[in-house]
Amino acid sequence: MFVKIIFVELPRAKDAQPTRTILFEAAGVGMIKVQNGGFYDEYVTPDIRYTIDIASRTIYLIHNQEYKIYVKSLKGDILRVIERPHRAVGLNNEGRKKLLSKFKGGDLKSIEAAFPDKLVVIKDIRVLPRGWLAVYRITGAELFEIDIFDPEGKYRYILEPPQRISLEKAIFHDRGFSLVEEKDDLLVYADYRIKNIPEIFK
């Protein structure tokens, strides 16, 4: 698949045409092809990720197979590029079985044959308060660590959550993060404070 990330700015005048800016594009992303279609898994499928910092009107874009984050203005200008040395992690038999177990039905033999032997590098990117950035770096099958960069793009921390708490679906805010957790067959909203990084979380 060929995918484009396009910023469309709607004009104020009724008769004017929208302005379209291509921010990022890549081929061969979004799906791994097999004989009768294709499949997707966020730990192995080449894809594009992006997140927007509304306060600074900047957008962070990546191809998840490399540790390179493009920071762009909404006009498409590259403001900076954030890089960190990192190699894709190989997929061992145990990890392969774990990821393949999620696929039910369909042509499992074709999926197994096409399944990559390496994981992608980045799972996700998130904007944190005050212009900081969280990069979800993949370390194994369904495993990741969170690298933290300051507003200038300098690598500063690894964010480690408390035991038995996953930040996969965390919503970050000025004090820390919130989650919807399942406890005793109920969905519970939980809010957590992060006290030891005061330059990000007040």
- Three-state DSSP string of 83-118: ECCCCCCECCHHHHHHHHCCCCCCCHHHHHHHCCCE
Average of per-residue pLDDT across 68-76: 95
Is the pLDDT assigned to residue 148 strictly greater than 90? yes
Give the pLDDT score at 11. 84
Over 90: is that where the pLDDT of 162 sits? no
| Mean predicted lDDT score pLDDT of the chain | 92
| pLDDT recorded at residue 16 | 85
| pLDDT of amino acid 140 | 95
Q: How far apart are CA 90 and CA 140, in angstroms?
A: 8
200 pLDDT band, cuts 50/70/90, is very high
pLDDT band at 89 (very low <50, low <70, confident <90, very high): very high
Nearest CA among 163, 162, 148 for reference residue 197: 148
Distance in angstroms (rounded) separating the CA atoms of residues 5 and 125: 15
Predicted local distance difference test score (pLDDT) of residue 198:
95
What does the alpha-carbon distance between residue 58 and residue 35 come to, in Å, rounded to a whole number? Answer: 40
How far out from the chain centre does Cα 75 lie? Answer: 22
Ranking 30-39, 99-108, 176-185 by mean pLDDT, the lowest is 99-108
Percent of the chain with pLDDT over 70: 100
The per-residue pLDDT for 188 is: 92
pLDDT at 174 over 90: yes
Mean pLDDT of 60-83: 96
